[in-house]
Amino acid sequence: MRLNQATDYAFRMVLYLAICPEGTKITGAALAAKQNIPERFLLKIMRSLTAAGIMKSYRGVEGGFALQREPKDITLYDVINAVEGQTELQRCLSDTDACTRGCGGMCSLYEAFEGVQRDLVTRLQSINFADLAVQEKKFTEEKSNIAQNA
């Protein structure tokens, strides 16, 4: 399983705003430049994040984007679902009729992947952007200290 580039960009966009002071609003062009994301791609991703209630969009000269929820209330799982849709390891996990064997969810593979899927979702839902922002600030400080001492 590999998340697509849009999801990686979405993580970076949400994390950047999670690090900023609460209520920070930024233009798409500025966010694209700060996170090294093509602006047209950023705007497409923003539509998905806005539709999911993660970001809010402001129109006009003073327009831009801001987080719609507090960073503690946004998880990795939320962002993945907003950008990629419901992510499942096997088709039969969401539609037991999709099994070409006709097992209807009654096989060892279904049971194994169901457990892995459940664990993955639980873990992704447990990681929020407030915690990631704290960790990111520490990494930034460490990199800055290393650069100063070099």
Q: Does the pTM exceed 0.85?
A: yes
Q: Say which residue the tokens 């062009």 belong to.
A: 29
In total, how many domains does the chain have? 1
- The confidence score (pLDDT) of residue 95 equals 76
Asked if residue 39 belongs to a domain, the reply is yes
Asked if residue 147 belongs to a domain, the reply is no
Domain extent, residue 93, equals 5-140
Asked if residue 87 belongs to a domain, the reply is yes
CATH number at residue 87: 1.10.10.10
Asked if residue 146 belongs to a domain, the reply is no
pLDDT tens per residue across span 44-85: 999 999 999 999 999 887 789 999 999 999 999 999 999 998
**CA 141/CA 77 separation, integer angstroms:** 27
